[in-house]
Amino acid sequence: MGIAELQSIHVHPVKALRGENPREAVVEPWGLAGDRRWVLIDDGGKVVTQRQHPRLAPAAAGLVPGGVVLSAPGLPSLTVPEPEPVDIVALDIFGTKVEGALAGQDAHDWCSGYLGVPVRLVHMDDPATRRPVDPDYALPGETVSFADGFPLLITSVSSLDSLNSLIAQGAHAAEGPLPMNRFRPNLVVSGTEPWAEDDWSRIAVGDVTFRVAKMCGRCVVTTTDQATAARGKEPLHTLGRHRRFAGSLVFGQNLVPLTLGTVRVGDPVRVLD
């Protein structure tokens, strides 16, 4: 690997909503501070994401002291404080039962009004105990927020460039080039060879080290334009032809922190193993 560095950082306070791009972020055991600590659930307690509702893509959540501020096209913004862990609800996130604290009714009404279906907003009050990492890939005691399965996701600029080149040669060339936000990563690295991350097992970003847990299998969310909510065929069509591993269409790597600290844009990225 050449001179690799952290190009950007992405924090999504509410799962499935647009997030923020800070210049630095604190790394906690379960992910970046503030990342995916909130989630929407339906009447049956199942997590609601862009998989079912691509309309979530243009909505946004930003961190404010003690809570989040929600915004969406056509609606006034709403500040939602972190709820006290009193009204606890059980929810289903991809078949796993997790508990969280319900936000206030005004937050439920705002989110339901935007989506046009009844939903409730839930906060993970104690990420140290609420949800373990997939035991097939976890070390003892590792936990995760409401992220899909692992504390962080890292992608690379060069791999996206390579993917976009493949899309340009394919049947849906008009859909490309795709931006990185289709993949909703936490960390984006520049200065690597395309697909170099396939071979990583342990890396350092600045002073913080991470274990590379597994390749990231991609879903229909990547076909969703994050600005308009329109869906297409890419990148899944091209990933299916060129990046299929063990039945998954792969882009990026899932990370688990081994040490804690702060990562900053411009930090060197080093491959340790």
Q: Where are the alpha helices (DSSP H) in 178-255?
A: 236-242
Which strand ranges, in their side-by-side order, compose the sheet holding 88-93? 47-48, 38-41, 120-123, 96-102, 88-93
Q: Report the alpha-carbon angle 133-151-237, nearest 5.
A: 95
Residue 231 binned pLDDT confidence (cut-offs 50, 70, 90): very high
Q: What is the mean pLDDT of residues 42-60?
A: 98
pLDDT tens digits for range 117-148: 999 999 999 999 999 999 999 999 999 999 99
Q: Confirm if 184 and 153 have CB atoms less than 8 A apart.
A: yes
Residue 91 has pLDDT above 60, yes or no: yes
Residue 233 has pLDDT above 90, yes or no: yes
pTM of the full predicted structure? 0.97
Residue/partner pairs of 113-119 with CB below 8 Å, 24 or more apart: 113/75, 114/55, 114/59, 114/72, 114/74, 114/75, 115/40, 115/48, 115/53, 115/55, 115/56, 116/55, 117/42, 117/53, 118/42, 118/43, 119/40, 119/41, 119/42, 119/48
142/135 Cα distance (integer angstroms): 9
Q: What is the mean pLDDT of residues 154-167?
A: 98
Q: Confirm if 84 and 126 have CB atoms less than 8 A apart.
A: no
112/120 Cα distance (integer angstroms): 7
DSSP-derived 3-state class of residue 23:
coil
Which strand ranges, in their side-by-side order, compose the sheet holding 75-81? 60-64, 67-72, 75-81
Closest CA to 36 of 100, 106, 96: 100
- Classify the phi-psi angles of 206: left when phi > 0, otherwise alpha if psi is within -120 to 50, otherwise beta: left
The two structure tokens encoding residue 138: 């976890």
Residue 31 has pLDDT above 80, yes or no: yes
pLDDT tens digits for range 174-226: 999 999 999 999 999 999 999 999 999 999 999 999 999 999 999 999 999 99
Averaged pLDDT score across all residues of the chain:
97
Residue 163 has pLDDT above 60, yes or no: yes
Residue 2 has pLDDT above 70, yes or no: no
